[in-house]
């Protein structure tokens, strides 16, 4: 049997006698196809679409607001700046709801752009943003930022002091609770003193306010993080912290030529809390130059804390100081005195 050897690209084909015609036909076809593949012009494949990186939303300094709309500041990747057809898409989710499209704006020639007047709903509004390319391919969303629409006035609860409390100090410590992180202004409307403060993360506050003698009306103003304002007020009275007596006379000068002259002495007694003291025992004494001293009987203060004594500076008194004294005895509350003087002129 005769063997024919045919050289092919990359190898050798051995063919038995009688099969050469068939092999020649096959080889010709293969060779023609090989040449065609070498000379064909390649067709370029379509480029892979490019998806942009996500934009960035500016985080608010204070997420709480009482305004109905908000402006968002967006920073876009540099690669899409100035490219036609690129857009920023803003999404918003209300509370725990599903995010929906709120706005689309074109990317301009700057990496920063403002999306103004986005409407807020009551509660938490969570915003994200994406980049849309000319073929509507969308980037991953940005990190979320939230705004909280709050139009409710902050509740103010004053725990101390009690209304109309007596305070024996130069200041009163006003304590209570309101909305967390609210700012506070406490104004003593009686003295016009104003003190600023703030509630802590739980809404608690404790602020000292100066007070004056007697009744003090204090106004407490709370402004919550959203800007809502509420006002509460209380009244306190400042006491002296001790038993006091205030002695006065119907006059403080008299001439010898006018003697004898009737004179009336008054006293007002207050307890350590600054309240009128009823039932205190009171004794008045007049030490008059040139004549014997005059002493009243023991008197008792009225419900207004008052007592009075009327006597006469007699003829025969000499010029000088007539010393006035009141002695107050108030049992367990204590004792006190007060003094004054009447001048007898020549």
Domains (range + CATH), the chain: 3-38 (no CATH), 56-149 (2.60.40.10), 157-238 (2.60.40.10), 244-345 (2.60.40.1930)
Nearest to 171 by CA among 207, 210, 206, 197: 210
Question: Model pTM?
Answer: 0.62
- Residue 156: partners with Cβ closer than 8 Å, 6 or more residues away: 176, 177, 178, 220, 222, 230, 231, 232
User: How far, in Å, CA of 102 to CA of 157, rounded?
Assistant: 39
CA 34 to chain centre: 83
- In this prediction, residue 220 carries a pLDDT of 98
Q: CA angle at residue 245 from 241 to 249, to 5 degrees?
A: 155
- In this prediction, residue 2 carries a pLDDT of 42
Give the Å distances, CA to CA, from 319 to 6, 251, 284, 291: 162, 16, 21, 11
- In this prediction, residue 168 carries a pLDDT of 85
- In this prediction, residue 155 carries a pLDDT of 97
- In this prediction, residue 265 carries a pLDDT of 98
- In this prediction, residue 273 carries a pLDDT of 80
- In this prediction, residue 17 carries a pLDDT of 45
Phi–psi pair at 161, nearest 5 degrees: -80, 170
- In this prediction, residue 10 carries a pLDDT of 40
- In this prediction, residue 44 carries a pLDDT of 55
Q: CA angle at residue 225 from 115 to 154, to 5 degrees?
A: 130
- Contact present, 155 and 176 (Cβ < 8 Å): no
- In this prediction, residue 35 carries a pLDDT of 41
Torsion of CA 331, 335, 338, 344, to 10 degrees: 80
- In this prediction, residue 31 carries a pLDDT of 41
- In this prediction, residue 139 carries a pLDDT of 95
- In this prediction, residue 330 carries a pLDDT of 95
Q: Provide the residue-wise pLDDT of the chain in tens; the chain has 346 residues.
A: 443 433 434 443 333 444 444 433 443 444 455 444 544 555 555 444 557 899 999 999 999 999 999 999 999 999 999 988 999 999 999 999 999 999 999 999 999 999 999 999 999 999 999 999 998 899 999 999 999 999 999 999 999 999 989 888 899 999 999 999 999 999 999 999 999 999 999 999 999 999 998 889 999 999 999 999 999 999 998 887 889 999 999 999 999 999 999 999 999 999 888 889 999 999 999 999 999 999 999 999 999 999 999 999 999 999 999 999 999 999 988 999 999 999 999 9
Residue 35: DSSP 8-state: H
Torsion of CA 227, 231, 232, 237, to 10 degrees: 120
């Amino acid at each position: 049997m005769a063997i024919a050897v045919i050289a092919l690209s990359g190898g050798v084909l051995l063919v038995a006698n009688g099969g050469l015609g068939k092999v020649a036909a096959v080889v010709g076809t293969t060779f023609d196809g090989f040449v065609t593949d070498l000379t064909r012009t390649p067709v370029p494949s379509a480029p892979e679409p490019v998806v942009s990186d996500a934009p960035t939303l500016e985080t608010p300094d204070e997420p709480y607001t009482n305004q109905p709309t908000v402006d968002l500041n967006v920073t876009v990747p540099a690669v899409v700046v100035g490219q036609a057809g690129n857009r920023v898409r803003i999404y918003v989710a209300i509370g725990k709801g599903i995010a929906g499209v709120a706005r689309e704006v074109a990317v301009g020639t700057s990496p920063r752009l403002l999306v103004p007047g986005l409407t807020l709903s009551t509660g938490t509004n969570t915003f994200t943003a994406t980049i849309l390319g000319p073929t509507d391919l969308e980037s991953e969303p940005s990190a979320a930022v939230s705004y909280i629409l709050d139009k409710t006035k902050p509740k103010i609860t004053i725990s101390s002091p009690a209304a109309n409390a007596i305070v024996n100090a130069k200041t009163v410590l006003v304590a209570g609770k309101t909305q967390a992180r609210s700012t506070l202004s406490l104004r003593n409307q009686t003295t016009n003193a104003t003190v600023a403060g703030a509630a802590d993360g739980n809404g608690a506050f404790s602020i000292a306010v100066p007070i004056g003698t007697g009744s003090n009306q204090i106004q407490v103003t709370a402004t919550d993080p959203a800007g809502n304002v509420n006002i509460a007020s209380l009244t306190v009275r400042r006491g002296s912290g001790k038993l006091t007596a205030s002695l006065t006379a119907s006059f403080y000068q008299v001439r010898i030529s006018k003697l004898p002259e009737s004179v009336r002495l008054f006293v007002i007694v207050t307890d350590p809390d600054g309240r009128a003291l009823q039932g205190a025992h009171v004794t008045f004494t007049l030490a008059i130059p040139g004549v014997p001293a005059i002493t009243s009987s023991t008197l008792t203060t009225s419900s207004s804390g008052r007592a009075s004594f009327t006597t006469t500076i007699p003829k025969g008194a000499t010029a000088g100081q007539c010393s006035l004294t009141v002695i107050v005895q108030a049992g367990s509350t204590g004792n006190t005195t007060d003094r004054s003087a009447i001048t007898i002129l020549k």
